[in-house]
Amino acid sequence: MARNSRYCAPYRRRREGKTDYKARKVFILSGKPRVVIRGSLKNVIAQIVIAKPEGDEVLVSAHSRELAREYGWKASRGNLPAAYLTGFLCGSKAKAKGVEEAIPDIGLHSPSKGARIFAALKGIADTGVQIPHGEKKLPDEKRIKGEHIVHYAESLASTPEVYQARFSKYLEQKLPPERLSEAFAEVKKAIATAFKSGGKKV
């Protein structure tokens, strides 16, 4: 509530919880591209963005829908392995366009250890794009590959009704959840191959 005539209302996007303007100023003054990672329940988006006087310019962008559409990903597009693969795809596109470094911009997300945004960040970093980050925040390699989902599916093998209910979407796509780690490796290899030898056009 305003208490006197000197009170200034925050910018609209700050009031709506969309933009941290102090952090944004630091990013802009750095002069480096930003890695912007955002997610919903069903999808993950990773972008390399650079600030310009007229507004932000997106250099490259990757959406988890592309994993299903172009690389054969049949599992959830919003889980941890999908976040990593989306980041890996974004990083591959960035390298193909000559982007060598960027700084992470997680927006107003809480920097929780092992979160999807850090899985996507690791995916980008694994392509060779230099991004400053702390290793302690990154998800475990086994979780990135979806091994925790595989173990959970195996633990439900003795209760077929629960298994069918929990993994109905996987089974509809003819992907047994026990094969998730293999599917992850196949899609990662497909992305790497697509951008090999000079890179795929983006």
For residue 109, the model assigns a pLDDT of 66
Q: How sure is the predictor about 175, in pLDDT bands with cuts at 50, 70 and 90?
A: very high
Residue 150 has pLDDT above 80, yes or no: yes
Dist. CA 37–CA 104, nearest whole Å: 8
Least confident of 98-112, 123-137, 163-177: 98-112
* Residue at token pair 């991004």: 131
pLDDT for residue 21: 63
pLDDT the model gives residue 11? 66
Mean pLDDT over residues 35-41, rounded? 91
Average per-residue pLDDT for the chain = 88
pLDDT score at 32:
86
Counting Cβ atoms within 10 Å, is residue 48 exposed (0-12), middle (13-18) or buried (19+)?
buried
Q: At residue 37, does pLDDT exceed 70?
A: yes
Percentage with pLDDT > 90 across the chain:
67
Domain ranges of the chain: 18-194
CATH tag for 18-194 (out of 3.40.50.300, 3.40.50.720, 3.30.750.24, 3.30.420.100) = 3.30.420.100
Half-sphere exposure of 40 (CA within 13 A, CB side): 6
pLDDT of residue 51: 80
Strands lying side by side in the sheet with 103-105: 55-63, 44-52, 34-39, 103-105
- What is the predicted pLDDT for the residue at 7? 72
Instruction: For helices 64-71 and 80-96, give the axis angle rounded to 10 degrees.
Output: 80
Q: How confident is the model at residue 13 (pLDDT cuts 50, 70, 90)?
A: low
DSSP state letters, 79-121 = SHHHHHHHHHHHHHHHHHTT--B-EEE-TT----TT-HHHHHH
**Is the per-residue pLDDT at 15 higher than 80?**
no
pLDDT at 116: 94
**Under 8 Å between Cβ of 99 and 30:** no
Distance CA 38, CA 18 (A): 11
Neighbouring C-alpha atoms within 13 Å toward the C-beta of 161: 0
149 vs 145: CA distance, rounded Å:
9
Average pLDDT, stretch 101-111?
80
What dihedral do alpha carbons 83, 17, 135, 49 form, nearest 10°? 70
Instruction: Judge whether residue 186 has pLDDT over 70.
Output: yes
pLDDT of 143 strictly over 60: yes
Range 120-140 average pLDDT: 94
On the question of pLDDT at 2 being above 60, the answer is no
Residue 100 has pLDDT above 80, yes or no: yes
In angstroms, rounded to a whole number, what is the distance separating the alpha carbons of residues 178 and 121? 26
The pLDDT value recorded for residue 111 is: 78
DSSP 113-150: TT-HHHHHHHHHHTTT-B----GGGSPPHHHHTTHHHH
